[in-house]
Amino acid sequence: MAKGTTGKHKKKTGTIKNLSKHQNVERRQGRRFFFFWVPIIIIVLLFFYAFVFDPPRSVGEPISGTVQEDGQERSSGVTEKIYSVVLDDGRIVKLDGFQMSSKESGKRLLVQENVSLLFKRKSFSFVKYIK
C-alpha cells in the first residue's frame, strides 16, 4: 500500500506545480498589462483631452486691427465666412465670420489672442468693432 499512496502523492504535487505555473503566467500577463498597456491608455486619454477639451486662455490685452478682405467661404461647402485681419503689430490672422457678421474690408476691430493650456495652440477671437 505504501507504493500506491506515494504514486497518488506524486500526482498531487505535479498538479500543484502546474497550477503554480499557470498562476505565474497570469501574473506575468497582469504585469504586462499594468506596465505596458496602462501607460499607453493614459497617454491616449491625455492626447484626447488636449485636442478636444484643452481650454484656451486669453493672453494679454485685445489687439486692434483692420479687416483686410471680405469673408471667403470655406472649401468644405459650409456657409462659414473667414476674414483676414491685419493686426497693428503686423501679423495677419484669420477669423471666423460667425461672430463678426458680414462687414466690409477696412473696418477696425479688436481681436483677442488665445493660447491653449497644454499644447500652446494659438487662436484669435473677435471682441468688438471700433468706431
State the virtual CA torsion across 72, 75, 80, 84 in degrees, nearest 10.
Answer: -40
- Its CATH class, for the domain covering 56-130, is mainly beta
3-state secondary structure of 124: strand
Phi, psi of 42 (to 5 degrees): -65, -45
Nearest to 105 by CA among 67, 78, 79, 72: 67
Q: What is the mean pLDDT of the chain?
A: 78
pLDDT in tens, 8-53: 554 445 444 455 666 788 888 888 888 898 999 999 998 888 778 8
What was the pLDDT predicted at 6?
Answer: 54
Q: Is residue 63 pLDDT above 90, yes or no?
A: yes
- Whole-angstrom distance, CA of residue 39 vs CA of residue 31: 12
Residues 6+ apart with CB under 8 A from 106: 66, 67
User: Beta strands 81-87 and 56-67: pairing type?
Assistant: antiparallel
Cell numbers for 36, please give them: 505596458
Q: Is residue 100 pLDDT above 80, yes or no?
A: no
What was the pLDDT predicted at 118?
Answer: 76
